[in-house]
Structure 1
């Protein structure tokens, strides 16, 4: 808050800014975009045949209420108790079976407080689930990921739902589908709540994966297959579906854990958004692909996947004949680990699945602190994922809802099996625009503090145009004499701050990272007396001019000066005499008025190496003002010349 006061006398008239800022670090919390929201537009791309049981599972961190509505069915109210799951049953007629037709089958979920929504489409022996994405993170650029036709049930498909009336959607199919020719864009128009399905029934290897979808307003997009056999040559088929994130939320670094009970591994697909995308698995280059192409492989061990450009990754459960165990296909997106959350409430279907599991992927530092339903998951349940810095666990859970939480972000993946049936979905994820991040810079690079004081570093995150990127999670890791970890989300100016207190003398190394991008800094902690005194600021001279100049002396006799910066600089320029960080000598600051006919306001902030900071009292007079010799610029407000 800012206030302005005038001081009058026969000799001078002073315009000053009365602003005091205490030397306390203020953290601005920026909520990262994620899978929680208060508004969702969803749909159900067609299952194997008409009439599936369609269910929404809704959960929240606080008690809330809401409605589920749509253009083709009556509104359904619901309430949610914090930490539990509410089931909403929908009409089976919302299952979309008509290809290349715009219909009114959208589903609108609204809530008073943020909720997470999961969709389940169930027919005995052909079931899958998806994580619903809220309207505020939907985008306008997508690439479809689903699965191929293998001449058993040919039904590779994707679905769309509109959120804004009059949205033009441009679709460039990857394979010819009826009158829609491969590689030839065509347009459709969607109003809010309208849906569109494109299903290709052409023979093996027809696959709508790699189809490009762009729109003039945000839309919801779903990829999958009516009933997929995975991989080619194995039975039986199962419905697969996931709600796809826009390309801005794709990532470059992933960790996967095999599905529990499976004996020969899982199918994995990696879809590229950029030409010349190099993909490595466990450090080895496996493919280089272009935009809209995918790499498919069987992965049998916990693995780390990296790419030099943003990609979308899905883990597929294979058909039951693949290894002869109780199972069948499902599709489950794997978020990049920079999109993990620190808590989840998830659920199994109420009935129909005798085997239910949760895979947890966590930083090694978090192992032992992650809770499942209020009980710490034993460290022995986790196994290291190579040299990735992550560990994975395969947990068997009971039917119903489950709560997971931890001190650091981690991944949670929910799935289950029954006789020739399955389901799977990610428990949630951040949807920050990590694909747009091109640089991260950490400051200060070097600093020295006495032990038992706080040190803060700031990471600045920018895109390829040097614009700040908002809402991205930055991970911080400190190694050395004061090891610790933490994370923060970038705020409006693209910065994320991390602070910690060093209790041991010596050196620390601080690394800030977003996926594979990182920057570092060094910190030295010294033993001895703790410096709690901020620098001093004294008005030492006035040069009448023109131009009129004010001279201020800044000094710190403790840990030494670190920085002198303007908080307010109106109608004036400011120069600081050169000094070395850590100096205890006096430093001269000269403020020069620009327009002598106007008053000037200059407010300085000086900070010492120990982190003590002070906002110096304002000075600055009109052109005709004379400042008496006894006028002193101190660190406390008001001064003797303020009434």
Structure 2
């Protein structure tokens, strides 16, 4: 399989045109979806958006000193499995961009369609168990949304729960554990929903698709008394990794990591505060581990895995804490680390406090070379707050937690050989959000 690689440490795509395909599944108290586009380019970057299923088209440009927020029509939200043709295509004239999907107080990092020639594409849904029915609406669902990027795409689908879906105007009942084959077209959407956890739902295609996964209103942990919309765009397994690092979330007393395997006999070692736990899991299976605010972790696996980090709901942090319903974010694997990222906090929502967790590999750790750039001001991150992340008494990475304002900003290593990752997140009254910075890209 031929893989497209980059000579510069910037998000994925190709030099003249970057394509994003995505969609939105429903949430409680639905409001209009939107996009936030930022760029690192010195010249204006052109973009165009098409959603022919609802006859929506727009275009414009974005510059490095001002993000663009695009409000999308609510008709683009896929409300039920019978809704189709709700896919959205965004085309941008640069790969030095960051695109964030936003739906009220929740966000997700939009991933560019990677230039991969030949072979097949493998994706897995990731979500959480349902809340007790006495607590919330029994219709709140674990959800997976598939968006086609090319006509005549063969999709093989194996769900983990019995569901009913619609494909090409035909309604089909699916049995858990049985593979079904369908043909979908460009910008066609297939919504998979269940009141039970769809984590491990397997999607195999002969052409790239976009997979959005999460929950309509989930509680974390499931018995806590608050719920929120969870959503991530799931990369194909070619972009998964074997080494990950996580750090606690500001203002939370605990958090959860979820590790999802793509292949059988995957051995996962989780080192938290230098203490190891080991698991052997099969394809589509996951490990959930709840951690305290003092626990920094390294995840090492024998085969590729996907890792998400979940913040806990406000009631799990104490009944007097009204800040921070759950959120779910992808955790970057070390093969996705870079030396420079542009990012945006959730925009236009009052009352949020925003944070960033930055992780630097130990061999590249030079705190005096790391800067947060916002409004033309360079903020040095040379501080004594960096915490070592250890495996077998050896420091493998360092992490720091930084409070930030509502900004469009960049984080850079002045030494471009030094690699790092970051997650930006925030909390407000009854809300929380979080995303990795940058984009996922295949490296040679």
Q: Fold conserved (TM > 0.5)? A: yes
1:286 positional shift: 3.1
Whole-Å separation in 1 of the counterparts to 2:29 and 2:6? 47
Greater Rg by CA = 1
Unaligned 5+ runs, structure 1 = 1-27, 433-470, 473-643
- Which residues of 2 match residues 127-526 of structure 1 at below 5 A? 127-137=105-115, 140-151=121-132, 152-153=136-137, 154-178=140-164, 179-201=173-195, 206-263=196-253, 265-282=254-271, 284-300=276-292, 301-324=295-318, 325=321, 326-352=323-349, 353-364=351-362, 365-373=365-373, 374-386=378-390, 387-406=394-413, 407=415, 408-432=418-442, 471-472=443-444
* 1:76 alignment counterpart: 58
* 1:465 alignment counterpart: none
Query: Are the aligned partners of 1:137 and 1:431 in contact in 2 as well (CA < 8 Å)?
Result: no
TM-score, normalising length: structure 1: 0.59
CA separation of 1:302 and 1:137: change in aligned 2, threshold 3 A: farther
CA separation of 1:31 and 1:403: change in aligned 2, threshold 3 A: closer
CA separation of 1:102 and 1:35: change in aligned 2, threshold 3 A: farther
Whole-Å separation in 2 of the counterparts to 1:252 and 1:93? 39
Query: Are the aligned partners of 1:47 and 1:95 in contact in 2 as well (CA < 8 Å)?
Result: no
Whole-Å separation in 2 of the counterparts to 1:220 and 1:35? 15
Which residue of 46, 54, 60 maps to 2:26? Answer: 46
Whole-Å separation in 1 of the counterparts to 2:229 and 2:114? 28
* 1:590 alignment counterpart: none
Query: Are the aligned partners of 2:213 and 2:232 in contact in 1 as well (CA < 8 Å)?
Result: yes
* 1:577 alignment counterpart: none
Whole-Å separation in 2 of the counterparts to 1:404 and 1:85? 16
Whole-Å separation in 1 of the counterparts to 2:6 and 2:19? 22
Query: Are the aligned partners of 2:24 and 2:78 in contact in 1 as well (CA < 8 Å)?
Result: yes
Q: Deviations over 1:466-493 (max 9, x none)?
A: xxxxx33xxxxxxxxxxxxxxxxxxxxx
Q: Deviations over 1:526-577 (max 9, x none)?
A: xxxxxxxxxxxxxxxxxxxxxxxxxxxxxxxxxxxxxxxxxxxxxxxxxxxx
Whole-Å separation in 2 of the counterparts to 1:193 and 1:172? 21
CA separation of 1:333 and 1:220: change in aligned 2, threshold 3 A: same
1:40 positional shift: 0.9
1:140 positional shift: 1.7
CA separation of 1:137 and 1:412: change in aligned 2, threshold 3 A: farther
Structure scoring higher RCO (CA < 8 A, sep ≥ 6) equals 2
* 2:169 alignment counterpart: none
Whole-Å separation in 1 of the counterparts to 2:10 and 2:210? 16
Q: Deviations over 1:27-60 (max 9, x none)?
A: x97457844561111111222244x231111111
CA separation of 1:103 and 1:388: change in aligned 2, threshold 3 A: farther
1:188 positional shift: 3.0
Whole-Å separation in 1 of the counterparts to 2:268 and 2:380? 35
Matched, 1:94 2:76: yes
Q: Deviations over 1:158-185 (max 9, x none)?
A: 0011110111211100111242210112
SS in 1 for 2:238: helix
1:78 positional shift: 2.2
CA separation of 1:258 and 1:191: change in aligned 2, threshold 3 A: same
TM-score, normalising length: structure 2: 0.85
Unaligned 5+ runs, structure 2 = 165-172
Query: Are the aligned partners of 1:36 and 1:133 in contact in 2 as well (CA < 8 Å)?
Result: no
Whole-Å separation in 2 of the counterparts to 1:393 and 1:193? 40
Whole-Å separation in 2 of the counterparts to 1:261 and 1:411? 21
